[in-house]
Amino acid sequence: MSTLKIEDYDRLRSKLPNRTGGWVPGTAVYCRGYDMMDDLVGRVDFFQSLVLNITGQLPEERFAKWLHAAHICVSWPDPRIWCNQIGAYAAMARATVNAASSFGNLAADSVMYGQGTLPIGTRLIQRLHTQHLNEKKSVEEIVDQEIERKGGKVNIMGFARPLASGDERVVAMRRTAKNLAYQDGAHMQLALAIEELLYNRYSETMNFTGYLCAFMSDLGYSAEQVHRIFALIVVNGVTASFSEEAEKPVDSFLPLRCEDIEYTGPAKRALPDMTDE
């Protein structure tokens, strides 16, 4: 069943084939066929090189500009946001900024918000688009089916959001995309149609995840590629929260009295005789 045999494992014990690139000391550092120092450094954007590393394709400059905008608009310097809290706690614990940025960023690998929602949202809009196109399902049928799948809840990945209705990030990113001369593709058109229906029925709108997944799907990216490209999307806000709290005295970030944690467990009780067991 395995695709590899013992002789394959033996061959790979000390040999390392790599399609992305690598360092040939004294010659060059290669990246997907480019000489990094001569062809890429100072010539392409960081996000172009990120997408190149992940997909093997060097994207156009305007896509890098769109990625920059997406990374800015989703990463806020507000320590109340769950991932940013980790940055603030890291500062309070006097952990390193790398611990803060790494683990705060990891916190957003979540099904509620952040990067963890992106592969789910991308798979969903691509699946719904296929149903819309091939099975001729109407937008109404699609919405009803997804609400039924969630036991009657309006809980469709990419639509609605915690804490507030509406989404200023979608407005900003739609404006940015327009300025970069991007047209709405088939996935975005479907997402907008779903949004319109949800808005009319429930006053809920598309959220940033829904926008991003539809946009990336229109450009042909897979769910896995989307997750990889946006792996660090909240790090900016996490580091901001770390930097703010690192300057303050320890224990000063929302300090808690003993009574501020409500104990809801068993009442005080005596230990049983431990020699019996």
For the bound state, the minimum distance from the C-beta of residue 109 to other proteins, rounded and expressed in Å, comes to: 10
Q: Is the Cβ of residue 136 or residue 267 nearer to other proteins in the bound state?
A: 267
Our CB check for other proteins shows the closer of 98 and 179 to be 98
Token digits for 196? Answer: 């319109």
Phi then psi for residue 35, to 5 deg, are -85, 110
> What whole-number distance in Å separates Cα of residue 210 and Cα of residue 193?
12
Cβ 174 to other proteins, closest distance in Å? Answer: 9
* Burial environment of residue 263 by CB neighbours within 10 A (0 to 12, 13 to 18, 19 or more): exposed
- Is residue 234 within 8 A of residue 114, CB to CB? The reply is yes
Q: How far is CA 78 from CA 73, 85, 238, in A?
A: 13, 8, 8
Nearest to other proteins of 136, 274 (CB atom): 274
Give whichever of 136 and 275 is closer to other proteins, judged by the CB atom. 275
Can you tell me the distance from the alpha carbon of 13 to that of 83, in angstroms, rounded to the nearest whole number? 39
**Considering the complex, what minimum distance in angstroms separates the CB of residue 38 from other proteins?**
16
Site residues, other proteins (CB under 8 A): 1-6, 9, 14-19, 21-22, 24-25, 30, 32-33, 56, 95-96, 98-99, 102-103, 106, 162-168, 170-171, 192, 195-196, 199, 205-206, 251, 255-272, 274, 277
Closest separation between CB of residue 271 and other proteins, Å?
5
Report how far apart, in Å, the C-alpha atoms of 235 and of each of 229, 240, 242 are: 13, 9, 10
Closest to other proteins by CB, 30 or 82: 30
Q: Are strands 34-35 and 28-31 parallel, antiparallel or unpaired?
A: antiparallel
Q: How far is the CB of 90 from other proteins (least distance, A)?
A: 11
